[in-house]
Structure 1
């Protein structure tokens, strides 16, 4: 006999700034005739979804040349999520970019970010997505080698 039980997202709500969550699932089965009980348990991790940052033509990034990065997030939940997306990068962006986002269930968000590197060398472009429902912080980044002119 197979019995299915769904644990909804609202029952385990991902908490702010955590990378992994351990779920300990335990089931007790009782035979009503013999009164015999059997315990089965399983532990598994639930991970935060990922936030991806990718650069077009990453090997051709040059100082003072306009570039495009794409921040991608796939909403794995059965409910819409919303929050604030923040992108920063010293020597890449003049100022931090911020925008409000709402992502529908199972939808993929792809946000292009235009930037012009002002300094040569190894730079990091970082993105943070702070969701308000559920309260979750997602981080993504990429390292860029900016060529001199």
Structure 2
């Protein structure tokens, strides 16, 4: 196996993009932007809007919800990309996001913070799936939810 290396022979860090298959990329992107405090990615180049950019690219109106993306406004977190696929979700996710909603909190304070965030996300379209109580020393407690298209994620 070969690795791409930098000047000092170390493996170079890679940027990561998380990609979601979706039936409605624009709606799912808006949901995740609200969950994470992200923003919709702006149009390329000097275009004032996505419609102007897509017009210039010759993308017909019926194809304009084929993809969407959200980005961390501070540039620290990964880009989330949403692509339209014809099939629906079939099984449990093998990879999921952990949304760190109660950093530094423990016990009842932690679970109360997670519950408050779960209420906000359910109002945005999430579905609550499970609550896992704290089980020290390793289990701090978390909630399992699903986004509007059924992709599981944890409030951690």
Scaled by the length of structure 1, the TM-score of the pair is 0.32
Bigger CA radius of gyration: 1
Scaled by the length of structure 2, the TM-score of the pair is 0.31
More helix by share: 2
Asked which structure has the greater RCO (Cα within 8 Å, sep 6+), the reply is 1
